[in-house]
Structure 1
Amino acid sequence: MSSRTPEPTPAGPTTARVNDRELRADARRNRERVLRTAQQLFTSEGLGISLDEIARRAGVGPGTVHRHFPTKEALYLAVAIDQIRQLVAEGEALTATGDPAALFTLLSRMMASGAENAAVKSALTAAEFDLRDAAPDAAADLTHQVALLLDRACRAGVVRHDVTVGEVMAIVAGAFAAIRHADADTSRERSAHIAQIILDGLRPRPR
């Protein structure tokens, strides 16, 4: 019987693929953790917080943040796009409920998200970033979800029939400006109140 220690078996293609998938999944989770942490910190502490501090709060190394987001502007843009994608997911969930008034829920969430991320959007505007150009697919997906909910709301008679999805999206964009003009973007209660006033204009007019 041989006393030689067996040499380790080289990792085959299947093992390499599994490890690669695990690494990609881990990188994805780290990126999402950084995005969520950055969004919360930008809202609560402002845009001055450093990338290294965001890394510390997210529980990842500074290199992880700098690798995914080499500049502050890149992180701002990623946070804003991530918020759009979260809204798309919320729209899909609301579409599945069958609730004819779900349009108002999604629009309220969109307005709240805009108020929460007002500083980030201002920074992107200052850097001459347009989200519709930077993330056309995400923007189109969100518009599509709004269109589906608007169509259902119109058929159910809970929204006036003379409004288009383009007008609804413009109303949401205008709501961001109204909330900021009223200095209400740091107050969920006040921003929600202004949003409700604006959304009431979409309801059917009394006959």
Structure 2
Amino acid sequence: MTSPPPDHVPAAHGSHRELRADARRNRERVLRTAQQLFATEGLGVPLDEIARRAGVGPGTVHRHFPTKEALYLAVTIDQLKQLVAGAEALAGNDDPGALFELLARMMTNGAENAAVKSALMAAEFDLRTAAPDVAADLTRHVSDLLDRAHSAGAVRQDVSVDEVMALVAGAFAAIRHAGAETSRERSAHIARLILDGLRPPPQ
């Protein structure tokens, strides 16, 4: 008799809490695996292959993400949540340069997930509608770090949060145009070039 797949092993003593925790872990594994495969192998990776690489059964993936579009959306929202968590950590220190660290992360992340975001746009998914709180949280953190950088003289005084967010979006296009989506080194270099334009001119 064969053993059940890893994601179908029942929780000890029938604990619903353990089942829920196991389901969360499986979902997170699927999201991390999907994000990596989409970035390295493209969007054509079958759901069953994502399940195999994540070490879960196909039913687990289809149960959480019945369509590719649902998985694209979940991957993108998960990445945004990770950026928000990183922004919260950066907000906890007094470094006026934290703004540049967060923007660099946003640019690199956006470049790596450009294909997923393009697929969502093609399917007429709007992240601001699907995850308004997460998108608003990220913008709020950028605004707060920008205010801190302004006060410290670490960033141009004439730049607004809307302009900063526009530059982040522009960085995605620049990195794609350079074919640097799969190279962290090249995408980080392009991000630095753009971020240098936000720094105050030498006196």
Normalised to the residue count of structure 2, the TM-score between the two structures is 0.90
Partner of 2:103: 107
Runs of 4+ aligned residues of structure 1 deviating over 6 Å after TM superposition are none
Quote the Cα distance in structure 2 between the aligned partners of 1:70 and 1:41. 18
Partner of 1:74: 70
Equivalent residues in 2 for 1:1-207 (5 A)?
19-207=15-203
Quote the Cα distance in structure 2 between the aligned partners of 1:85 and 1:76. 14
Partner of 1:4: none
Quote the Cα distance in structure 2 between the aligned partners of 1:71 and 1:130. 17
- Once the two structures are TM-superposed, the CA of residue 19 in structure 1 deviates from its matched residue by 2.2
Quote the Cα distance in structure 2 between the aligned partners of 1:125 and 1:183. 20
Q: Provide, for residues 53-89 of structure 1, a one-character-per-residue CA deviation record: whole Å limited to 9, x for no partner.
A: 1011111111110000000010001000000000000
Quote the Cα distance in structure 2 between the aligned partners of 1:57 and 1:132. 30
Amino acid at match of 1:117: N
Amino acid at match of 1:33: R
- Once the two structures are TM-superposed, the CA of residue 20 in structure 1 deviates from its matched residue by 2.2
Amino acid at match of 1:178: A
Quote the Cα distance in structure 2 between the aligned partners of 1:143 and 1:150. 10
Matched residue pairs, number? 192
Sequence identity (%):
78
Structure 1 stretches of 5 or more lacking a match? 1-15
Max Rg structure:
1
Normalised to the residue count of structure 1, the TM-score between the two structures is 0.89
- Once the two structures are TM-superposed, the CA of residue 110 in structure 1 deviates from its matched residue by 0.4
Structure 2 stretches of 5 or more lacking a match? 1-12
Quote the Cα distance in structure 2 between the aligned partners of 1:127 and 1:175. 23
How well do the aligned residues superpose, as a CA RMSD in angstroms?
1.6
Amino acid at match of 1:102: A
